[in-house]
Amino acid sequence: QILVGAYGLTTGAGIAEALLRAHHRGVEVKLIADKTTPCGRNSGIDPLANAGVPVWIDNRARIAHTKTMVIDGAVTLSGSYNWTRGAAANSEDLNLVASPVVAEAYAGHWRDRQGRSMRFDRREDWCRAAAR
């Protein structure tokens, strides 16, 4: 299982593509993103949603600034590193913590945000509604 919290997620950075490959291998991938993420250029949300990855949009937070992944309830990635191509050129950090206790804390936060978020199905529907 991979639980993803994303402020930005674009194609071409390798992250969205790796999540798609994991999904196609049968890994349960779930994503919560900021309300602006689906409408940006090269958004990685569409390919994931089109492949059947469940996606939610955290539309309640002013900015859903989280950048985390909880992998198999054992490993947590977290930091300032956005899941975007541009992040690779910036001086951003990404921390890997191998601890089931830390992973459960982050997964609990992820589930809390999921309960406050809206399900995303199609970019056209979301971006049109978000523009109003």
pLDDT (tens digit per residue) in 6-59: 998 988 889 999 999 999 999 999 999 999 888 888 899 999 999 999 999 998
| Catalytic residue (choose from 24, 72, 121, 125) | 72
The whole-model pTM stands at 0.91
Can 65 be counted among the known catalytic residues?
yes
* Residue-wise pLDDT tens digits, 116-131: 999 998 777 777 655 5
How many Å apart are CA 84 and CA 8, to the nearest integer? 6
| Catalytic residue (choose from 24, 35, 65, 93) | 65
| Catalytic residue (choose from 23, 30, 35, 67) | 67
How many Å apart are CA 29 and CA 71, to the nearest integer? 9
